[in-house]
Structures are given as structure tokens and as C-alpha cells.
Amino acid sequence: MKTIAISFLVFFSLGTYSQQLSEIVTTGPEKGSLIVVGGGGAGPDIIEKFIELAGGPEANIVVIPTASGSDSFSENSGGARSIREGGATNITMLHTRSKDTANMDAFVEPLLNATGIWFGGGRQWRLVDAYAGTKAEEAFWKILEKGGVIAGSSAGATIQGSYLARGDTKNNQIMMGDHEEGFGFIKNIAIDQHVLARNRQFDLFDILKKRPELLGIGIDEQTAIFVQGDQFEVLGESYVLIYDRSFWSREGSDLKNLPPSNNQFYFLRQGDRYDMRKRAIISDDE
């Protein structure tokens, strides 16, 4: 009887834990749009989408290159060159390493009329150290609330998630480091970048083994997800990897010899759509 009771308790606790995981949902912003780019530059289609969502070539766009280790920035830094070449004519560079500065009204002023933000690449923890919990971060959210767009590449991609993958100040190979919170424009998610170009396709499991409630998304270079609400569409040349403890394939999976669900991932390509709340592919007829 004692053995049966212990087995029942283990089964019950596992069942309760599984239910708790299933009740945690991944959600995007209620208003506005996100473009999350996997690094390696953004192709013309991605830049065109960003400028369109910001309001067109004359929109007020702010580029934030703070993730870079440099303190000297040109007008072409942080992705500004590609945005300008895409036709945007009103770009402001905004940078600080000081939260005190990021709390100053004069610093935040360019964000008040902005309809688009682009976070450049580098190390995502630098964005946290400069802007988290400041008036600047409040202004980021207000841009979404008024229907604007926030975009970013590489570090500027990962920062948009709630869990900050590769957030350690020592190096970029530590997946769970001394910075673990991003800006959380998407909730209950960990976002990785440069995934196939740098053979990082197994790295997200370091996070998901300890944080199984999270949705994992890996984005390759020259590729992005375009997020509105809880859904996204893939843009660009390469692939997005989905880590949702399931498997999907255009040719089906009934005859495949798959690993356990907690070791599975699958690929999406340009035009594919995904529902983060449901953690499911969106079929063409939906």
C-alpha cells in the first residue's frame, strides 16, 4: 500500500506540474508590431516591412546601437544604414550606458514622437543595463501602445523576449547567465539568433530543460519573424526553429523516428505562420 501511495503521489504531482505548464501561454503585444531578426543583416523585404509598419519613408524612426561595445557611433551604426537605404529619411540615433541618462526627459524626447524603433546587434545585456526600468523603456512600450513597431537584429532580437538567452556578461556561449530578463514584448519566450549560421540549434535546450514552460524560438541570419498579437509570420531567406515540445513537417511525421518531445524542434520558412498562444502552426486555410 505504501508503494502504491508513493506512486500515486508521484503521478499526481507530475500531472499537476504538466497542467501548470499547459496553462502558461506565450503572448505578443496587444497593440503594435514586432520584427525580430536573427542577425547577419536584414534583407530588403524585412527593412521594407519595418518602414511600412513605422508609417512610411518619412516616419520618425529611432535606432538604438547600445548593444554594441563601442561608444562611438556613426549615422550608419546599429542598422541605420540599411534602414536609410530602404528609403527612410527621418532617423535619430539614441544611445547611453547610463540609466540616469535614460531617465532624463531630454533623452527620452526623440522616442515620444517615434513610430518605429530598431535595436542594433551586440550583447543584449547592455540594453538591459542601460534601459531596463527607465523612462526610456516606458517610451518603448508606448510606441507599441500607439500602434508603432519595434524591431531589432541579433541582440536586438533576443532583448524582445521575456527570457534573456545568452545574457551573461562573461561571454555569449552561456545560455543562462547573470542577466535573465529581457524587455518582454513577447511573454514566456526565449529567443536565440544566428542559429544555423553558427550551429546553435541545440543551445536553447540548455534553457528549456530548466524552464520548460517557455516557448523557444531560434532565428537564423537574414531571417525574421513579424509579430502581431500572438501570431507571427516568417520573413527572409533562411529558417526559424521552433522549440515547443512537438514536431511538425510538411510531409508528416508518422513514419519518422523522433527523439523525446523535450528534445524536438522543427523548421519554418518564409511565409509560414505560427500561433504562439496555441503553440501551433497556422494552416493556410485559417
Task: Tell me what pLDDT residue 23 has.
Answer: 76
Q: What is the pLDDT of residue 74?
A: 87
Handedness of CA 23, 195, 281, 14 (dihedral sign): negative
Question: Would 11 be classed as within a structural domain?
Answer: no
**pLDDT value at position 13?**
52
In a domain, 72, yes or no: yes
Please give the grid coordinates belonging to residue 233.
509570420
Question: Residue type for 27, please?
Answer: T
Quote the pLDDT of residue 20. Answer: 55
Taking each helix axis as running N to C, give the angle between helix 135-145 and helix 124-131, from 0 to 180 degrees, rounded to the nearest 10: 100
Measured between alpha carbons, how far is 244 from 208 in angstroms, rounded to an integer?
9
Give the model's pLDDT for residue 198.
Answer: 98
Q: What pLDDT shows up at residue 7?
A: 54
Residue 8 domain flag: no
β-partners of residue 149 are: 33, 116
Domain enclosing residue 86, as ranges? 27-282
The domain that contains 265 carries what CATH number? 3.40.50.880
Question: Quick check: is 62 in a domain?
Answer: yes
- What is the per-residue pLDDT for 76? 85
Task: Give pLDDT tens digits along the chain (286 positions).
Answer: 555 555 555 455 545 445 456 679 999 999 999 999 999 999 999 999 999 999 999 999 999 999 998 888 888 899 999 999 999 999 999 999 999 999 999 999 999 999 999 999 999 999 999 999 999 999 999 999 999 999 999 999 999 999 999 999 999 999 999 999 999 999 999 999 999 999 999 999 999 999 999 999 999 999 999 999 999 999 999 999 999 999 999 999 888 999 999 999 999 999 999 999 999 999 887 6
Contact 64, 117 (CB under 8 A): yes
Does a structural domain hold residue 35?
Answer: yes
Predicted pLDDT at 17: 46
Q: Any bridge partners for residue 118, and if so which?
A: 63, 151
pLDDT at position 72 is 84
In the chain, the number of structural domains is: 1
Please state, in angstroms and rounded to a whole number, the distance separating the CA atoms of residues 6 and 13: 11
163: its cell numbers: 527570457
